[in-house]
Amino acid sequence: MTAIKIKRGVGQQAKFVAVCSMLRFVTLILVLMFGVGVHSADAQTLKRGNKQIIAGGVMQADSAAIARADSIAMLDADSLAAVQKLIDKQAKQRQDSLSRVARQKERARQAGRLDDNGNIIPREPWFSDSMSLSKVCLTSMVLPGYGQIYNKQYWKLPILYSTLGSSIGLAIYQGTKYKPLKREYESMLLDGMSRTEEMNLVQRRMIRTNTTRQLLWSAAAVSYIYFLGDAAIKYSTNEVSAVKKATTLSLICPGAGQVYNESYWKVPIVVGGMASMVYVFDWNNRGFKRFKTAHSLRADFDEHPENYPDGQSKDEFRGRYSTTFLKNLRDSYRRNRDLSIILTAAVYAFQAVDAHVDAHLKDFDVSDDLTVKLEPMFDYQYSYVAGGNPIFGVNLNLTF
């Protein structure tokens, strides 16, 4: 009986120990599961906190996530440094955005497009604040005066249109007077009329009318180019560097970029080069037309002599020159004319490149610290084979 009681007591104690062990195991499992869940949630929170949030057009950091991460001390030193770097970057971007807005408001205030509340009054689609300088100039080429309207300088429009319109109108009028005089003079030449006072009078009137017409066309071109350049100089909607303005002005008018860069000594060279090339082109073009007409008349006389009862060619040289000689002269003038076109384009491109480079070098340091020294050098070199050998040469020292 005693043995049975003892055995039963031992059995109950073993069951109690087993139950306690199982409870401890279950509790440990629950603790581990709860800890893993909390750690996963915190990790997801930290992962979301490192992302960027766009608010109002400016990138901002998730400060709440960073605070939670800091409170549970889950971020190591590298993570904290990365987050701080991100915050600094976003602060700089925010500052740049505020500065850009301030500059836009200042330009809008100068242009009279700022309301009482300090808000920018938007332009119409054709007058967008984002329109670049090149687009404004290209549009002004097609629509003269557009640049002045874009820059809010309306008082210049009457000057532009009156100058341009009157010059073109008078030039067309002089052209209607020049063409009949030219036909009359050419008919006198073809009829073999000798040099008389009547012929000289027609020629003088023709030359005078043609000169007036060319001057009027030149005045129209000058006013057109001037207002294109004015639109480029007064452009201030966006931030444009001096390099772009100088290059644009040189493309609009040769020499204008040099004036903008204040390199005035280059202006006579550029203008003289362009004027010389234009004169050479005009000279060879007139010679080409002259000998082309003479060659055509002489060739027609050689092919159809029966059409000329007087037996004399109708060209201005009256048959003194052969068809081959006139053809060679015609081809020579045409070749020189084409070459002058290429040279004119080369001078135009060269002056544009010069204005662009000169504007870049405006802030280049050309002080005395930039020196190049060339001086003799003497040294002594030793080798196992030849022993000691003197060395003579030149040293080039560049200081910058």
Distance CA 155, CA 158 (A): 7
Structure tokens at 334: 């045409």
Token digits for 354? Answer: 């010069």
> What is the chain's alpha carbon radius of gyration, rounded to the nearest angstrom?
44
pLDDT of residue 187: 80
Whole-angstrom Cα distance, residue 209 to residue 258?
A: 35
CA distance 97 to 54: 13
Q: Identify whether the C-beta of residue 344 lies closer than 8 Å to the C-beta of residue 274.
A: yes
Tens digit of pLDDT at every position of the chain (400 positions)? 444 443 444 455 555 556 556 666 656 565 455 444 444 444 444 444 444 444 444 444 455 555 554 444 444 555 666 767 778 877 777 777 777 777 766 766 666 666 667 676 665 555 555 677 888 888 888 889 998 888 888 899 999 999 999 999 999 999 999 999 888 887 877 665 566 778 888 888 999 999 999 999 999 999 999 999 998 888 877 777 788 888 999 999 999 999 999 889 999 999 999 999 999 999 999 999 989 988 888 888 888 888 877 777 777 777 788 889 999 999 999 999 999 999 999 999 999 999 999 888 876 665 666 666 777 777 767 666 666 677 777 777 776 5
Cβ atoms within 10 Å, residue 136:
21
Give kind and range of the element (H or E) at residue 26: helix 2-49
Instruction: Determine the pLDDT at residue 56.
Output: 41
Residue 253 has phi, psi (to 5 degrees) of -145, 120
> Would you call 145 helix, strand, or coil by DSSP?
coil
Nearest to 357, CA basis, from 272, 274, 264, 263? 263
The predicted pLDDT at position 322 comes to 87
CA distance 121 to 112: 9
Residue 120 token pair: 């920018």
Paired tokens of 218: 């030149």
3-state secondary structure of 379: strand
Question: What pLDDT does residue 183 have?
Answer: 87
Give me 55's structure tokens. 């608010």
pTM: 0.55
Would you tell me how many other CB atoms lie within 10 Å of the CB of residue 79?
14
Report d(CA 42, CA 48) in Å as an integer: 10
Residues 6+ apart with CB under 8 A from 291: 326, 329, 330, 333
The single residue listed with the structure tokens 């003892």 is 6
